[in-house]
Amino acid sequence: MDDTTYDLAGHRVRRMGFGAMQLPGPGVFGPPRSRDDAIAVLRRAVEAGVNHIDTAQFYGPDVANELIFDALHPYPDDLVLVSKVGARRDAAGSWLPAQRPAELRAGVQANLESLGIESVHVVNLRRHPDSDVSLDDQLDAMVELREEGLIGAIGLSSVDLGEYRRARARTEIACVQNEFNLADRTGLDVLEATREDRVAYVPFFPLGSAFHPVNPVLGAASVTAVARRLDVTPAQVALAWLLQLSPNVLLIPGTSSPAHLEENLAAADVDLDQAALIAIG
């Protein structure tokens, strides 16, 4: 089996995908710094073989999806679009929960409209840590949307091991999207469970949070030392580590820079030797 691809909701996708979160303006809000660059990045990613793009209507809001539409529609037959619901933005750009079943449905419909499609391949249910809506009620809503054909498959985002297992006992789960990187491995139990279940695991913030003032991944001494020795960048080391961690890991690093896109894509060809893996820990 080709180890550069993995199954996602019945589609064979490249393990190096693309995340659209950084396409809108600062704070994932408003128009992009350069619309031309954003369009160029999306087109180049697909040209280079990326066939898994992660997005959300609340990125912008609408900005990321509209850029994807403008750059890539009509979409290539093998392109898998993954979105998420469970959050919204207010006029000031604040991130707010949108956890009720009616809000999940509205979120899916907003994605369909802004992406210009009749069904989203996969939609991740993003659980809010303080949600007062039961997971069972949310899953009922997602299953209903799938049965109606508005979404092709159900994913989960920001869930713990108990929530993952509960959801999977209720219905088929295509993927889990949790924060995970070299500096934050607290969700390792979920990753291990998905590997055993042959469910795709999609770490967000693979290079550390864009909202953190000091990047704990790229600034780590062990990462920079390995990067120097292998003549690659710290970001490539961090991405390659995730790819080598487990075959079910799908990466969605995002950028609005064509140069950074090429750097991220090249990480798929970086082979970390045993000395590098030991040094990283």
- Active-site residue set: 59
Give the whole-angstrom CA distance, residue 242 versus residue 236.
10
Give the whole-angstrom CA distance, residue 247 versus residue 189.
16
The number of residues making up the chain comes to 281
Which burial class, exposed, middle or buried, applies to 10 when counting CB atoms under 10 A from its CB (0-12, 13-18, 19+)? Answer: exposed
Hey, how many other C-beta atoms are within 10 angstroms of the C-beta on 38?
Answer: 26
- Strand locations in the chain, DSSP E? 5-8, 11-14, 18-19, 52-54, 80-85, 87-89, 95-97, 120-126, 151-157, 175-177, 200-201
- Strand locations in 58-215, DSSP E? 80-85, 87-89, 95-97, 120-126, 151-157, 175-177, 200-201
**Terminal alpha carbon distance of the chain:** 28
